[in-house]
Structure 1
């Protein structure tokens, strides 16, 4: 019997032999539950906490369902990797769990049933100077964190949210407040789900489409239109990959979107030795 099985059997014995049952200890564990958010100086949010056994029983299968089936990196020859468009950037399990948590929170906040704050559902407000927005340089700011945010994040938010132009004079007075320009509508998102499937379009990603973000295949700021041929639904993590312009999107013969890795990913040293084109013996890994 393994140590884990022996430990579980001991728990079962304790539960059976305890004349009061598990209810008293369960109450103590329930009272000990907590979730603590601490904003760090570098802008990160440190989350610590403890869930009761009842809460753990509910939370664990949710994350198990959303986490990808990959348990370790896949090591291939570079040409095999190039042929395998479905090989996406690997993440550690803690990293993937953080991404799933972010996606669940962000997707739930967009639902009509979410509680309202100042007349709207939970809203991620990002403010950026028009000059920075046009040049793609500088930084943006959000009430959710005390540190500046990169412009790549602004591009990601623009894809799935709406933009409102605000004109402010040199004294800080608001002169004009423009109408919100919404990108992909609810009807368009439903059509994207019907076309591409019920999950994030990235292979082996099980994040439900209703939690995903809409992405412009051809960037909106460079003339890409907000229509169905130019849209896909991707989870927060894969949307971030695409907005960093390191991964590309193509479509197969059936019109299904395919996420293609960049050259630097295909040719990473740790993928193994490359096979020479002539079939000869390679001398070692290449970058």
Structure 2
């Protein structure tokens, strides 16, 4: 923290009175501006980490068994989170996160641990700090030969500054506690630990929201039976409530189950996709309604509302094209074929699929029903996720090729972009005319409209040598540099497994 502060102090434009900052910082060069933002972000992460440690200590000194003599109670607060919130002036959710992360960082060596195994993180009433787990009941009583808990990779990554407190919390809460279901507890904890390491490796180029989603998906892959139960709980929580406020305005509150939420998002995306950066390359039949939609005076929210009402009115009597136009909504899911087969005693498929847009995990019962109703399309990939080529017979990628690109890329591959596959365009890595580019899967990549246009208009390039990784090169970057572009698909582990020293991942 001291080094970062000293680096900022050397920037002359920042060494001014507070009221002069806006005018002074406007004179910063682009390089100094970016460097300052990075230093401040790193400093903020350092402060957040230290704040979480102190919040964890405060929580330990405010244990329930301490009653009114606990630290929080002596300061007039019912919980340690309330104490932290009062001191920081932040939100209740942020204070709770600081306490959770702080407790997770404290181990027995700090004098703040508690005997026995820590409770599952999904239990809101449970304590959440990691404890050293005894190898056996005998060793538990003797206090010798303790093994490292499964979430130790998260603790080390946070203390070393490789992930932020928000990323730590997202991964820990998303993965939950290891589930054995009769299996070997050590093997289960080992699989969860490997999953934690993989998510730490991905954290640098992933938003906190996406990281949490990936952690939940990884938990579902490790625990397909639990995925079915969690899906059922969210399904049971579905609800629809309407009310009228004091001004006579009608309101509604909807709690969706997973599958219905995916369907509604697809339905709404089909209505406003041209406004939200959908692909420019569409058929002539699609061009007219797309142009009309862009000129429509309604807001996106009004268009979505009108569509929902139209769907409710039309019901089952209307043709789908009458309501949705050229692009009908739907939820396409990706399933790794080799993992489909085993069933539980109730006959439920023990497998996890993924929504093509966003990668949200779906349990075996949903896969079963989709296969029964709609069938499937098989995509065979090589060891790097690339389907077979189809040559240069046509200029544009075929629908089946775009499907294969969606399976491989999972959305726009540009670093940090979150646009799903249905909003993307297929880009030829080798220019079709100038470089004799082939319309082949291994020479194509999915990009959203913005990044596709940025690449063509500002001199960026995506290169690939043989079957090596996709490399993004900024304008003027020397050959040999660049950023590796990775698939956004949550199912990419099927062809992109962890390093050889983690060979137990798939078996787990």
TM-score strictly above 0.5: no
- Choose between structure 1 and 2: higher strand proportion: 1
Of the two structures, which has the highest relative contact order with CA contacts closer than 8 Å and spacing of 6 or more? 1
Q: TM-score, normalised by structure 1?
A: 0.34
The structure carrying a bigger helix percent of its residues is: 2
Larger radius of gyration: 2
TM-score with structure 2 setting the length: 0.21
